[in-house]
Structure 1
Amino acid sequence: MPRSPILFLDVDGPLLPYGAAPPRFPSGGAPADPLRDDPAPDPYLDRLDPAHGPRLLALPCDLVWATAWTTDANEYLAPRLGLPQLPVVDWPEPTAEDLWSGLHWKTRALVDWAAGRAFAWVDDEITDNDRAWVAAHHPGPALLHRVDPSLGLTDTDFATLDAWLRAPGVRM
């Protein structure tokens, strides 16, 4: 049976854009949301678009948090987006080689976590170094999709992800 690809999802930039003037989106979604008054670790939570949750769930993939928020993403973001508790990538310390090479500190860990499965990585800090390293070290299909951090995820980003995730050869 084919395995769904993984979508590694960063938070700051893709889901919490830096350029939107608060409040771009209602904090936490529905007015009855009890999380609206919870203290949150980030003032950008007002920029979270609750419509992104259903759009992410509609993508044909397994969602995984790939963020420095770690487990806080499940506590503060998942409920506001209507997402279930998602797996979270644990981050090792970056190696000296990573720092010297300009490789993003997440890149090796995501390839290890994927363990050969097809994956898309949504982040605002992806570079050509990361793309080249993944192409050389990951045996399965991979899409490293950079999101403009001033806009966050847009309709165009969702269309790109959906098309790639549904492309022949991505489901393994």
Structure 2
Amino acid sequence: MLLDVDGVLNPMGRPPPEFRPYRCTVDGVLYTVRLNARHGRRLLDLAASTGAELVWATTWEEHANDWIAPRIGLPTLPVIPMTPVEPSEHGEMFKTRHVAAYVGRRPFVWFDDQVWAQDEDYLRVHQGLDSFLLVHVDPVEGLTRRHLGMAHEWLTLTGFSQGS
């Protein structure tokens, strides 16, 4: 399960009261992120119940392990390198090629606020991948139980969970 930060764990809209603001400095730039500590437990429970691995797929890269993971109760996670930033070839988001290189032929669920049809087309047509679920998260509200339920259902129905 691939996780983005901004727009997914850190919503861009006015978050509900269960989100807490944190100030962090990354490469000399001060950011305020709003995080829900419950997200960590929900993601860990989903990973445990389906046998999935959690991986950062964010421009925060290793900074996600420093600033985001401890605040929501996640352990240090593997990180998909997102540099260099290369222009789109087929309308896909710049992260999509990095994700494809990382996952290889493994099935995956990707939570991101910037995945669209062009990303799905790129992964299917240009990379030959077919076992994945792109979960578009509304950046205003961020990750919800509905998104986690979609991932659980897909992982379970496609036979990727431990119970299969």
Does the TM-score normalized on the shorter chain lie above 0.5?
yes
Question: Alpha carbons of 1:19 and 1:141: their partners in 2 closer, same or farther (altered >3 Å)?
Answer: same
The alignment-based identity, stated in percent, is 37
Q: Does the Cα contact within 8 Å between 1:78 and 1:84 map onto a contact in 2?
A: yes
Q: Which residue of 2 aligns with 1:91?
A: 82
Give the match for residue 43 of structure 2.
Answer: 56
The more displaced of 18-27 and 72-81 is 18-27
Equivalent residues in 2 for 1:15-94 (5 A)? 15-21=9-15, 25-27=19-21, 39-40=24-25, 41-43=30-32, 45=33, 47-59=34-46, 60=50, 61-94=52-85
User: For 1:153-168, what aligned pairs fall within 5 Å after superposition?
Assistant: 153-168=143-158
C-alpha separation between the residues in 2 aligned to 1:15 and 1:21? 11
More strand by share: 2
In 1, distance between residues paired with 2:24 and 2:95? 28
Separation in 2, partners of 1:113, 1:39? 28
Q: Is the 8 A contact 1:63 1:86 kept in 2?
A: yes
Q: Is the 8 A contact 1:111 1:138 kept in 2?
A: no
Partner amino acid, structure 1, of 2:137 = V
Scaled by the length of structure 2, the TM-score of the pair is 0.84
Where does residue 4 of structure 2 map in the other structure?
10
Instruction: Verify: 1:112 aligned to 2:101, yes or no.
Output: yes
Distance in structure 2 (CA, Å) of the matches to 1:76 and 1:157:
23
Q: Tell me if structure 2 keeps the 8 A contact 1:18–1:151.
A: yes
Residue 168 (structure 1) shift: 2.9
- Distance, in Å, in 1 between the alignment partners of 2:35 and 2:124 is 32
Alignment of 1:128-143 (within 5 A): 128-136=117-125, 137-143=127-133
Compute the displacement of 1:20 (Å).
1.7
CA contact (8 A) 2:90 2:122 kept: no
Structure 2: runs of 5 or more not aligned: none
Rg larger in 1 or in 2? 1
Query: Residue deviations 1:135-168, cap 9 Å, x none?
Result: 2224351111100000001111111111112223
Shift in Å, 1:82: 0.7
Tell me: CA distance 1:162–1:168, structure 2 relative to 1, closer, same or farther (3 Å): same
Aligned counterpart, 1:33: none
Letter of the 2:4 counterpart: D
Task: Classify 1:22/1:156 alpha carbon distance in 2 versus 1 (closer, same or farther; 3 Å).
Answer: closer
What is the CA deviation profile of residues 102-150 of structure 1, one whole-angstrom value per residue up to 9, with x for unaligned ones?
2100111111100100011110011111011112224351111100000
Gaps of 5+ in 1: 1-6, 28-35
